Amino acid sequence: MKSLPDKPWHHLDSKEVIETLESDVDTGLTSNSAAERLQAFGPNSITGKQPISAFKRLLLQFHNPLIYILLFATLVTLFLKEYVDSGVIFAVVIINAIIGFVQESKAEEAINSLKKMLSSSATVLRNGEKKTIPATDLVAGDLIFLASGDKVPADMRLLECRDMQIDESALTGESVSSEKHLDILDTDTVLADRNNMAFAGTLVTYGSGKGIVTATGDQTETGKIAHMISEATTLETPLTRKIHAFSKLLLWVILGLASITFGVGLLYGMEVSDTFMAAVALAVAAIPEGLPAVVTITLAIGVRRMASRNAIIRKLSAVETLGSTTVICSDKTGTLTENQMTVQKILAGCKTYDVSGSGYHPEGQLSCDGQKADLADNDALHHILITGLISNDSRLSETEGRWGVEGDPTEGALIVSAMKAGYQLRQCEAEFKRIDTIAFESDRQYMATLHRLDAHHNLIYLKGSVEQILARCTSQLNVDGETESLMHDAIEEQVHAFASQGMRVLAFAMQKVPNSEDTLDEFNNREPEQTLTFVGLQAMIDPPRSEAIKAIATCQKAGVRVKMITGDHVLTAKAIAAKIGLQNNPGQNSDELEALTGRELSEMSAEELSQAAETVSVFARVAPEQKLNLVTALQGRDHVVAMTGDGVNDAPALKQADIGIAMGISGTEVSKEASDMVLTDDNFTSIEAAVEEGRNVFDNLIKFITWILPTNMGQGLVIMVAILFGITLPVLPVQALWLNMTTAVFLGLMLAFEPKELGIMSRSPREPNAPILSVEMIGRIVSVSTLLLIGAFGLFQWSQLHGASIEESRTLAVTLFVVVQSFFLLNCRSLTNSIFKTPINSNAWIWGGIAAMLIAQLLFIYTPVMNTLFQSTPLSLNQWLVMLGYGVVVLLLVEVEKAVWRHQKS
């Protein structure tokens, strides 16, 4: 075989598949042929793209305009022989780089997890002999044997299957195991419905079979997902995009102003060296050295807060991204639902019962018309529960307080419904000893078991599809345990009612036979003319998480749209979507939720897909690449997209999304490694909490930027005005560094601890393209910068006129900056609300920071060492009172300005 064929294997009959792959159904491949194919097509393993070296990843941490500014500041201060300041600034750069290097996740980790999904060994037919070989040695054309409990080692077309069921939930998102058959399927059959195929990494839960390998390694469906993960674009977050643009602008503004300063100085006839030092002073003063450090620390504080609310952040920038999110694309199974099939309705004796409780935890009760069910009042209810419990090959288990099922999820749900009514499995199995079984097969669509009833009779119990069970029934059991005429139409009507709610419906029947009939052979011989008694129906669904309903309502109220993207059936998806309160896109006329299937999406043009992604809220039977395409389409419409999921099939979309959110308990390792955030409790409510924390982080960052820029702009203006008027510099470069570093750490950083403001989840998300600072904030920055210019320059000139030394005047100017910024810090606790309505003790860090800054400034002013280092000098009490009075004036003026903006918005 010269090349590996790419065929719709599910559409070909088994004979054609074998011929195409040049194999033999009786002997399999020869060892020589297998070796040649292994050499030609490579091992059955997933290869990742060449990873970026650790050194290169470290260097990339410095690729940021803001870091360029800091490196420039490092070189400038080094040139000025201010080695301590140069070292401090460079240390800030290094710390930022290390934090970013450690926090960033790598795509190859996700690919390594996918590699682990492949089975370690496989049972294969070669040279006519059955043997076990490493799964990596499998090639296309190999004949593989599968049994219950096996992990499928490669993609394969099934040639034989007996009662085979495979759990494909991690690949397709479908809760129920896929029942396999050998029928030829249509070419356009979606992945989740290709029931004559078995896919690498999935798990055989029931039955056995034989198949021929059609794809290995990178060519498998799992391998294609790995490729999509490695190819998915790692996007910048809204904050990093805005900080990047803001830093670029700031860089050019600072360089421009420094150049203007240098040019003006030369025009005034100043010495070149003095003019250069003035330009350097302006640059150093205007650079916000503390900004990157405070941004990183603020995000880290957000990480800690989110961890306390069950959200583990794997990338620092994800904290802020959550606050910018406009759309949450959520997987259904395991995210919005329990991923545990649950019986919710039972029809028995013409009565419909509700079953409370959720998942596999056997807590709950049966009720009819609001009253607790009494088993003594309905013999049909007794038999339907017994049938579900003992005509069953699965088991319920509890591990560390979590209930699970060993076997088929549907059978697990039947066990739980019986236990909720008080039945115990061991007791019932002892009372109704099983003596024979007809296992479930896809062509038969039912399971039958024969049980010892008494000395004279045995009992046959059946469970299966409604069509197959009803076809074998001639009567039905009533509440008194007596048979009556089968009301076929009424039953079908009830089946339709259950199915319309997205529930899977199973029918149950029974037949009493003589004890001489101790096998099910005679039962088989009576096909198709059987006279069974219909017992009832059990309707089940993978139920929505109760807490998800409230969380989705909160997100929608906050202007965050929630969309369901699932591999499950469209009817089930719509039913769950309706229960959890998903809404149509605003502006749509229809009240009914619109849903699209993967097949419909595949027929759309790029423009139609983009429109569908924008307007539709429910997507069902969606393939992994379509999830990825939907996320990309939303991003193309300038949405900030969060994607949640727990399966392998979610990983590419998680990687592509602005923020990928994986489930910590039920999530696969692949989904966790591809994500930015992991929910430790698998609770959708934690996403709402994380969005809330993300918004608060962004609010606090804007507060910090609004607070810090007047310091830098004010210093720059003071130096520019001094140059323009040919006056001695009021602030030296080393003093500017002192101001920038100490105020940022002691004052500005305290804003990171500000609690959430009221109504944070009642406002719409920020526009993704909105500038980092609003017109209101820019106006405030300019006004406070101007007030700092007036105060610092005026105080400097006033003291000079009154005979103060140049050191004393400069100390006054520097300290005025500290005082005004301390008062302005109080203004910035809320950018819109009055300081007088902000609880004074809601952030104790603010007062601690002001106290620490005061102590540092007192050391700056009154200690001989600091006087020598920074050319400062002691100040009098009267000078302090003047500065404090000016600080109060600035505080009141800012509050007046905020009140004007509030009035205009009202």
Catalytic residues: 331
Contact 643, 657 (CB under 8 A): yes
Exposed / middle / buried, residue 158 (Cβ in 10 Å: 0-12, 13-18, 19+): buried
Strand partners, 480: none
3-state helix, strand, coil in the chain (%, to 5): 50, 15, 30
Using DSSP's 3-state secondary structure scheme, residue 758 falls into: coil
Strand partners, 511: 460
Residues 801, 803, 805, 808, CA torsion sign:
negative
Q: How far apart are the first and last CA of the chain?
A: 76
Strand partners, 539: 345, 505
684-724 vs 272-286: helix crossing angle, rounded to 10: 160
Q: Which residue has the tokens 């005429």?
A: 485
Query: Does the bond joining 528 to the residue before it have cis omega, within 30 degrees of 0?
Result: yes
Q: How far apart are CA 477 and CA 469, in angstroms?
A: 14
Q: How far apart are CA 334 and CA 404, in angstroms?
A: 13
Extract the tokens encoding 757.
Answer: 């403001």
65-79 vs 733-746: helix crossing angle, rounded to 10: 140
Q: How far apart are CA 216 and CA 194, in angstroms?
A: 18
Extract the tokens encoding 241.
Answer: 């995009």
Instruction: Name residues whose C-beta falls within 8 Å of residue 680's C-beta, 6 or more positions apart in sequence.
Output: 310, 311, 312, 664, 665, 686
Instruction: Name residues whose C-beta falls within 8 Å of residue 505's C-beta, 6 or more positions apart in sequence.
Output: 466, 495, 498, 499, 537, 538, 539
458 sits in the region (left: phi over 0; alpha: psi -120 to 50; else beta) called beta
Rg (CA), the chain: 36
Neighbours of 645 (CB within 10 A): 32
Residues 331, 337, 338, 343, CA torsion sign:
negative
Neighbours of 128 (CB within 10 A): 10
